[in-house]
Structure 1
Amino acid sequence: MRAFIVSDHESVTAKVRQVLLGEGQDCPAAHVLSLGLAADHLGQSDPELIVIVLSADPARALEVLGDLRAGTKARLLAVGPSADSKLVLRALRAGADDYVDEADLQPELETALRRLATARDSQEQPGRTIAVLGPSGGCGSSTVAVNVAAMLAKTHHRAALIDLKLEADDLAALLSLKPTHTLADLCQNAGRMDRVMFERSLVRHASGVHLLAPPRVLADVPLVTAEGVRQALTLARTLFPYVVIDLDHSYREEQLQALRQADIVLLVLRLDFTSLRGARRTLEHLERMGIGRDRVRLVVNRHGQPKEVPASKAEEALGVKIFHYVPDDPATINRANNNGVPAVLEYPSTRVSKSLAKLAHGVNGRYEGPGTAGAKR
Structure 2
Amino acid sequence: MDAQNTTLSVQLAVKTIEVRKSLSRIIQKFDGLTLEENTDSPWVDILVLEIGSNPSAEFETIKALLQENVVGNLFLTSPKTTADILLPALRAGAREFFTQPIDVEEVKAAFQKVKDQAHNQNTVADQTVNKGKIYSVLGAKGGVGTTTFAVNFATSIQARDKNKSVALIDMNRLVGEVPLFLDLETDTNWEDIGRNISRLDAAYLQSAMVRHSSGVYVLPAPGKVDTEKLLPAGSLFQVVKSMRNFFDYIVVDGGMYFDENLFKIFTESEQIYLVSILSLPCIINVRKLQQSVFAANGVTNGRLRIIANRFEKKAQVSLAEANKIIGTDISATIPNNYALSMTAINNGKSIADVSRNSNIARAYSQLAESVADSGLERAGGIFSWFSKN
* TM-score interval for Structure 1 and Structure 2 normalised by the shorter chain: 0.5 to 0.7
Q: Which amino acid aligns with 1:181?
A: T
Q: Take 2:207 and 2:316, find their aligned partners in 1: how far apart are those partners?
A: 45
- Which consecutive unaligned segments of at least 5 residues does structure 2 have? 1-66, 72-127, 375-389
Alpha-carbon deviations, 1:56-79, whole Å to 9, x = none? xxxxxxxxxxx99999xxxxxxxx
Alpha-carbon deviations, 1:130-176, whole Å to 9, x = none? 10111211111110110111011122323100001112120000010
- 1:16-55 matches, within 5 Å, as none
Which residue of 139, 151, 158 corresponds with 2:156? Answer: 151
Which residue of 286, 290, 296 corresponds with 1:289? Answer: 296
Asked whether the 8 Å contact 1:187–1:225 carries over to 2, the reply is: no
Asked whether the 8 Å contact 2:173–2:224 carries over to 1, the reply is: no
Pair 1:247 & 2:254 matched: yes
Alpha-carbon deviations, 1:15-55, whole Å to 9, x = none? xxxxxxxxxxxxxxxxxxxxxxxxxxxxxxxxxxxxxxxxx
Q: Which amino acid aligns with 1:302?
A: R
Partner of 2:169, secondary structure, is strand
Which of the two has higher C-alpha Rg? Answer: 2
Equivalent in the alignment of 1:103: none
Q: Which amino acid aligns with 2:268?
A: Q
Asked whether the 8 Å contact 2:183–2:348 carries over to 1, the reply is: yes
Q: Which amino acid aligns with 1:142?
A: T
Pair 1:343 & 2:351 matched: yes
Which residue of 364, 370, 374 corresponds with 1:362? Answer: 370
Q: Take 1:185 and 1:227, find their aligned partners in 2: how far apart are those partners?
A: 15
Pair 1:274 & 2:281 matched: yes
Question: How much has 1:352 moved relative to structure 2?
Answer: 1.1
Equivalent in the alignment of 2:183: 176
Q: Take 1:347 and 1:68, find their aligned partners in 2: how far apart are those partners?
A: 45
Q: Which amino acid aligns with 1:259?
A: F
Q: Take 2:177 and 2:227, find their aligned partners in 1: how far apart are those partners?
A: 16
- Which consecutive unaligned segments of at least 5 residues does structure 1 have? 1-66, 72-122, 367-377
Which residue of 307, 328, 339 corresponds with 1:331? Answer: 339
Equivalent in the alignment of 1:204: 211
Asked whether the 8 Å contact 2:278–2:315 carries over to 1, the reply is: no
Q: Take 1:311 and 1:293, find their aligned partners in 2: how far apart are those partners?
A: 19
Asked whether the 8 Å contact 2:167–2:218 carries over to 1, the reply is: yes
Alpha-carbon deviations, 1:196-244, whole Å to 9, x = none? 3333221101111000111122436962444332232123211111110
Pair 1:127 & 2:107 matched: no
Q: Which amino acid aligns with 1:170?
A: E
Q: Which amino acid aligns with 2:147?
A: S
Asked whether the 8 Å contact 1:183–1:224 carries over to 2, the reply is: no
Equivalent in the alignment of 1:315: 323
Pair 1:236 & 2:225 matched: no
Q: Take 1:218 and 1:164, find their aligned partners in 2: how far apart are those partners?
A: 13
Question: How much has 1:321 moved relative to structure 2?
Answer: 1.3
Q: Take 1:239 and 1:70, find their aligned partners in 2: how far apart are those partners?
A: 21
Q: CA RMSD in A?
A: 2.5
Question: How much has 1:357 moved relative to structure 2?
Answer: 1.3
Runs of 4+ in 1 over 4 A off after TM superposition: 67-71
Q: Take 2:344 and 2:247, find their aligned partners in 1: how far apart are those partners?
A: 25
Partner of 2:366, secondary structure, is helix
1:70/1:196 CA distance change after superposition, 3 Å: farther
Which residue of 279, 296, 304 corresponds with 2:312? Answer: 304
Equivalent in the alignment of 1:137: 142
Q: Take 1:143 and 1:224, find their aligned partners in 2: how far apart are those partners?
A: 27
* TM value normalised by structure 1: 0.61
Q: Take 1:197 and 1:225, find their aligned partners in 2: how far apart are those partners?
A: 21
1:252/1:221 CA distance change after superposition, 3 Å: farther
- Give the number of equivalent residue pairs: 250
1:222/1:363 CA distance change after superposition, 3 Å: farther
**Structure with higher RCO (Cα < 8 A, 6+ apart):** 2
Q: Take 1:356 and 1:186, find their aligned partners in 2: how far apart are those partners?
A: 30
Q: Percent identity?
A: 24
Equivalent in the alignment of 2:192: 185
1:231/1:365 CA distance change after superposition, 3 Å: same
Partner of 1:160, secondary structure, is strand
Q: Take 1:319 and 1:278, find their aligned partners in 2: how far apart are those partners?
A: 12
Q: Take 1:146 and 1:221, find their aligned partners in 2: how far apart are those partners?
A: 30
Q: Take 2:208 and 2:335, find their aligned partners in 1: how far apart are those partners?
A: 35
Higher mean alpha-carbon deviation, 231-240 vs 144-153, is at: 231-240
1:268/1:69 CA distance change after superposition, 3 Å: farther
